[in-house]
Structures are given as C-alpha cells and as structure tokens.
Amino acid sequence: MHRSSHHHAGHREAFMTHLHLMGHRHGGGFGQFAGFMGGMGMGGGAFRVGRRLASGDLQLVLLALLAERARHGYELIKALEERSEGFYSPSPGMVYPALTWLEEMGYASVTPEGAKKLYGITEAGDAYLTENRAAADAMLNQIVQAGRKMGRVRQALGALEEDEQDGWRELWAVRETLAQAVREKRHSSTQEKQRIVEILKAAAAQIRGKA
C-alpha cells in the first residue's frame, strides 16, 4: 500500500510539473493560472500567486456582486465559490471585515434581518464601482477563468488516477522519461533531430500495430 501511494504521488507530481512547464512554454495553461489570485490593485495588473485576494481587491469584487443584487455575507461567499467552480471560497474572516469597510465608507448599506444582515450597494458605492469597473470586471473574469482551468486540471488528474487503477503507472513513468530525453536533445543538430523524429514515428507505428 505504501509503495502504491508513493508511485501515485510521484506520477501526480510529474503530471502537475508538466502542466506548469507547458503553461510557461505556451503563455497560458497551468503556468499562467499559477499567478491568478492575489493583489491586483485598483489599477489592474497581474495577480500574485495564491488563493486569496488582497483586502482592497476583495472589497471591490464584493461591491461588484452587490451591484447585481443585495446579498447576505454567506451568499457572497457562495457566489464567488460558484463562479470559480470551487477554486476560490473566501473565509468569513475575510469577507465580513471587507463588508464592514464598505459600510464604513458609505459604499454599502446594511439591513438587519433578525440575526442576519442584508448588504446592498449605495449611490456612493455605485459611483466608486463605476470608477473602478474595469478592475472589478478583470478580477471577476480571472476568478471565472481560473475556476475553468482548475476544472480541466481536475479532469486530467481524474484520468490519471483511472489510468493508475487500470495498471498504467509504468506508462506515465515512461512518458516522462521520453519527454526528458527529447528535452535533452533540443540543442542537437538538424540531422540528430531528424533521427529522433524517425525513432518516434517508428515507435508510434509499433504501438499502433502498424509496423
């Protein structure tokens, strides 16, 4: 059991590393996603790595959600969780201080409903949001995009787990070894690269049973 778990973790790590490298190589994918959440700032720009928004950014995102309709605190948390497909779910310890700040600034109104509070946007909040709409929309869009990317990663990892359960662990190990061997030859001569291409073509034909 221990050996199986070790192999499983090793293949998963190799797969995640592959996704990360592919993202850097092609300007997207998992590598781009790694820098998704953090502190965009009101003027826009890149997010820092992490799974949280800086306080000022979270306040702006919450205000954008309140502009859609009045919500309770837990509904705001749920809205972000749904938009990110479960990737980003801020804690109450982050959301409620941000809502308090919006209230103190006059950007959000609060209507008591028993033990709950219903938050809405004020005219001042609407004006503030209008001034920062581009940044708010960019952050909400990246939350959605990051959720979609993580969904694809989860699907890929699920396929990897199914392969391992079907006895395909060695296949993933060999694939990684092959990929590394090809990377080591990236500075080879044109003739050497062509030799490698022919080897890979022949191997593919043999796997398909056409050799």
Single pTM value for the model? 0.51
Give the residue from 11, 44, 25 showing the smallest Cα distance to 132. Answer: 44
Nearby residues of 167 by Cβ (< 8 Å), 6 or more positions away: none
Higher pLDDT: 102 or 172? It is 102
203 vs 28: CA distance, rounded Å = 30
Over the chain, what is the mean pLDDT? 74
Adjacent-strand bridge partners of 116 = 113
Task: Tell me the three state secondary structure of residue 182.
Answer: helix
Q: Which residues of 121-149 are buried (b: 16+ CB within 10 A; e: fewer)?
A: bbeebeebbeebeebbeebbebbbebbeb
31 within 8 A of 22, measured Cβ to Cβ: yes
Residue 69: burial class (beta carbons within 10 Å; 0-12, 13-18, 19+): exposed
Which value, in Å, is the radius of gyration of the alpha carbons in the chain? 24
pLDDT higher than 60, residue 65:
yes
Question: Once rounded to an integer, what is the mean pLDDT over residues 121-129?
Answer: 96
Question: Once rounded to an integer, what is the mean pLDDT over residues 156-164?
Answer: 61
pLDDT higher than 50, residue 51:
no
| Cα-to-chain-centroid distance, residue 73 | 24
Give residue 50's pLDDT band: very low, low, confident or very high (50, 70, 90): very low
HSE of 204 in the Cβ direction (CA atoms, 13 Å)? Answer: 6
Residue 46 per-residue DSSP state: P
The per-residue pLDDT for range 180-202, each reduced to its tens digit, is 888 888 888 989 989 988 998 88
Give residue 55's pLDDT band: very low, low, confident or very high (50, 70, 90): low
pLDDT higher than 90, residue 152:
no
